């Protein structure tokens, strides 16, 4: 009997564990029960959260549940079509919860009581239908909060004053709501901030002067820097209501008011005189290099600044490569001259640029761009980069020379650079057709008419080839491109795409990297990290943009406009309405419809929201090239053997293409 007992133990004990462990897991984990309770409070969760099932560990198996060492630390329930209520009591029982995201759902009603969750660090509620005011003291118990994204809802009332007490706060996004009143004085060192498109008013606090004007646009009554709208005296100086100091306060206020009026009059006279002296020329242009296609009017001084550059720069505009280098090294206290890194288009100096006819092309996240047509007939683009102070002169020079050695049909190689501590000039060849963004969305002339399917396919193929090179040349970089979008895909005369603004990530100041498109993707907004998979996501956006012809809202950090191409495409594919996605200007090309749909599927795969499940760049390029090869007659029905059925129409077209290469063959 004892022998039998010892014999059964090794068999019976593992079986017992397998039977009882799921029951123990279910019974012993109140957090799992809390998640089920949370799910029950949602509407529309049965399908989207179908992976939330009993007897299965939520870590690694449940959609939207983020764990660290088997502890639930985050809920990222974005893009799931959820609505209903959010059971805060259930969330309170998840002790390790630090990140909450309900982005792109349909929740409505007042702000939920997330303020009961005192340990959360990130709160993302963008693009829902929450409404009403948020109590002033709402955030007072959330001292660990670092990131608050409440954009694209219907919140109203004043911005909660309790935000000023969040010492760890780094990101605050309140754009596209109905907030009113003044902007609180936030003393935190914010890295990302946006209150555009609300109903805010009054002067912008001094602490926000370094943010871009777009962060405050769409608020008609806001004034002060960085907006180009000065505040009037009543906004700058106002006595508290009901104050009575025997007339002293009133007298003081009048004095300040008169001084401000005099200062404003003096400023107007000075600006009038300055403009007259400089003969400022106004250019009304459509930006070809920025991610915006708005018509803008920009003043371009052509006298004082040009003379200033010429005076302190070298006059050796045609000096040799070595002479440029020596001038730059000597003149540490002056601007020095250009450093040529690629002389295939000739050698020129800073003085040559200053004498050139200038035209503003646009203002991007990393700086402004100008076209300069020099006397020798060469037209170049000069980009002024103010956010490249991360590395010293020698390292910067080495990086620029590496760029200058690039020789690839689909990579824009720089010609020269100019180094100053506070800003850099980056000189490249000018592409008359502009960017893919411009030709797709801004130009409705001959260039746009040329965008038939073969041309668009050529552009996709060229982008893939360029990325293949970058991922080989900069394989050790976290982001071999990092700013991949249609405004950074330039087009040659024969529509060969050239990638620009690549591999800048190591050069850009940490405070400015968020202006790169990689930091506007879901990888960063939801997962707070970027990687090579982020470039894959950006490639997918471009593919969807090319095939649908729609301007992606993903390019816009602020304001209205564009189409959420990712959500639109995924919805249509799930409902088997793919053909509706094709640009109407391409639908007449019925012979290429299957290829368009296949490439559309590749673009959708590249924009998988979870980077872990997204394909690699190598796989994305392999699929693109395989699909592009199908358009070549010599590879028609590639992969099919004689026993398989191949489309007869494709076979005939491919046969004719091959036969046309024979001189004696004439097509009827």
> Where residue 245 falls among pLDDT bands split at 50, 70, 90?
very low
d(CA 205, CA 225): 8
d(CA 313, CA 307): 10
Angle at 337 between CA 331 and CA 338, to 5 degrees: 135
pLDDT tens across 309-337, in order? 332 232 233 333 333 333 343 333 334 58
Q: Which pLDDT does position 495 carry in this prediction?
A: 93
**167, 144 contact by CB (below 8 A):** no
**170, 190 contact by CB (below 8 A):** yes
Q: Report how far apart, in Å, the C-alpha atoms of 614 and of each of 91, 422, 531, 538 are.
A: 29, 39, 11, 12
pLDDT at 651 over 50: no
**261, 407 contact by CB (below 8 A):** no
pLDDT at 568 over 70: yes
Cα dihedral sign, 368-369-373-377: positive
More confident residue, 630 or 291: 630
pLDDT at 198 over 70: yes
**601, 579 contact by CB (below 8 A):** no
Q: Which pLDDT does position 270 carry in this prediction?
A: 65
Q: Which pLDDT does position 287 carry in this prediction?
A: 33
**550, 562 contact by CB (below 8 A):** yes
Chain centroid to Cα 478, Å, comes to 16
Q: What percent of the chain has pLDDT over 70?
A: 74
Mean pLDDT, all residues of the chain: 76
pLDDT at 230 over 70: yes
Q: Which pLDDT does position 545 carry in this prediction?
A: 94
pLDDT tens across 430-456, in order? 998 889 998 888 755 566 678 899 999
Strand order in the sheet with 108-109: 108-109, 129-133, 154-158, 178-181, 199-203, 221-223
CA dihedral 600, 604, 607, 612 (to 10 degrees): -130
Provide the 10 A C-beta neighbour count for residue 579.
12
d(CA 426, CA 503): 14
Give me the residues paired with residue 122 across strands: 99, 147
Angle at 616 between CA 614 and CA 619, to 5 degrees: 115
Length of the chain: 668
C-alpha gyration radius of the chain: 30
pLDDT tens across 165-178, in order? 898 898 899 999 99
Q: Which pLDDT does position 79 carry in this prediction?
A: 85
d(CA 366, CA 374): 24
Q: Report how far apart, in Å, the C-alpha atoms of 636 and of each of 166, 623, 652 are.
A: 62, 16, 10
Q: Which pLDDT does position 494 carry in this prediction?
A: 92
């Amino acid at each position: 009997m004892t022998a039998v007992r010892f014999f059964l133990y090794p068999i019976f004990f593992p079986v017992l564990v397998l039977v009882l462990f799921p029951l123990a897991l279910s019974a012993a984990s109140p957090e799992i029960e809390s998640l089920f309770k949370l799910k029950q409070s949602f509407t529309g969760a049965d399908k989207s959260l179908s992976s939330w099932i009993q007897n299965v560990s939520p870590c690694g198996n449940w959609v939207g549940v983020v764990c660290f060492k088997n502890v639930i630390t985050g809920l990222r329930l974005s893009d799931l079509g959820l609505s209903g209520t959010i059971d805060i009591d259930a969330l309170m029982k998840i002790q390790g919860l630090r990140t909450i995201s309900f982005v792109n759902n349909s929740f409505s009603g007042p702000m939920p009581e997330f303020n009961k969750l005192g340990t959360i660090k990130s709160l993302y509620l963008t693009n829902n239908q929450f409404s009403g005011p948020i109590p002033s003291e709402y955030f007072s118990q959330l001292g660990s909060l670092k990131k608050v994204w409440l954009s694209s809802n219907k919140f109203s009332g004043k911005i909660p004053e309790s935000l000023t007490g969040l010492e760890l706060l780094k990101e605050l996004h309140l754009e596209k709501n109905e907030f009113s009143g003044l902007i609180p004085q936030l003393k935190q060192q914010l890295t990302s901030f946006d209150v555009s498109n609300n109903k805010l008013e009054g002067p912008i606090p001094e602490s926000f002067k370094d943010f871009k004007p777009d962060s405050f646009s769409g608020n008609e009554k806001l004034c002060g820097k960085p907006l180009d709208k000065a505040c009037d005296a009543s906004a700058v100086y106002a006595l508290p209501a009901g104050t009575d100091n025997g007339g002293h306060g009133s007298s003081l206020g009048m004095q300040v008011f008169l001084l401000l009026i005099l200062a404003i009059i003096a400023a107007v006279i000075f600006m009038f005189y300055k403009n007259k002296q400089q003969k400022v020329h106004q250019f009304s242009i459509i930006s070809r290099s920025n991610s915006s296609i708005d018509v803008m009017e920009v003043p371009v001084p052509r006298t004082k600044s040009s003379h200033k550059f010429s005076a302190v720069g070298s006059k050796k505009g045609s000096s040799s490569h070595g002479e440029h280098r020596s001038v730059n090294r000597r003149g540490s206290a002056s601007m020095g001259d250009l450093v040529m890194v690629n002389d295939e288009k000739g050698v020129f100096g800073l003085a040559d640029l200053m004498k050139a006819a200038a035209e503003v092309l646009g203002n991007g996240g990393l700086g402004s761009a100008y076209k300069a047509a020099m006397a020798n007939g060469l037209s170049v683009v000069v980009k002024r980069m103010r956010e490249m102070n991360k590395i010293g002169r020698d390292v910067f020079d080495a990086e620029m020379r590496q760029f200058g050695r690039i020789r690839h049909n689909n990579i824009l190689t720089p010609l020269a650079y100019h180094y100053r501590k506070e800003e850099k000039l980056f000189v490249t060849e000018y592409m008359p057709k502009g960017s893919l963004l411009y030709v797709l969305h801004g130009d409705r002339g001959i260039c746009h008419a040329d965008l038939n399917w073969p041309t668009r396919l050529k552009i996709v193929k060229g982008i893939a080839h360029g990325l293949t090179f970058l991922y080989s040349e900069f394989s050790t970089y976290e982001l071999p491109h990092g700013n991949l979008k249609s405004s950074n895909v330039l087009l040659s005369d024969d529509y060969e795409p050239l990638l620009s603004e690549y591999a800048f990530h190591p050069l850009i100041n940490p405070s400015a990297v968020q202006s790169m498109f990689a930091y506007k993707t879901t990888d960063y907004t939801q997962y707070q990290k970027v990687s090579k998979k982020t470039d894959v996501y950006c490639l997918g956006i471009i593919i969807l943009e090319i095939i649908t012809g729609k301007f992606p809202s993903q390019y816009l950090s602020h304001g209205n406009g564009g189409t959420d191409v990712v959500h639109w495409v995924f919805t249509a594919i799930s409902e088997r309405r793919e053909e509706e996605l094709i640009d109407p200007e391409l639908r007449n090309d019925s012979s290429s419809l299957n290829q368009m749909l296949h490439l559309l599927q590749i673009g959708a795969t590249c924009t998988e929201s979870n980077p872990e499940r997204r394909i690699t760049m190598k796989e994305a390029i392999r699929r693109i090239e395989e699909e592009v090869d199908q358009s070549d007659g010599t590879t028609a029905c590639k992969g099919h053997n004689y026993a398989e059925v191949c489309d007869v129409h494709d076979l005939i077209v491919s046969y004719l293409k091959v036969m046309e290469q024979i001189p004696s063959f004439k097509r009827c």
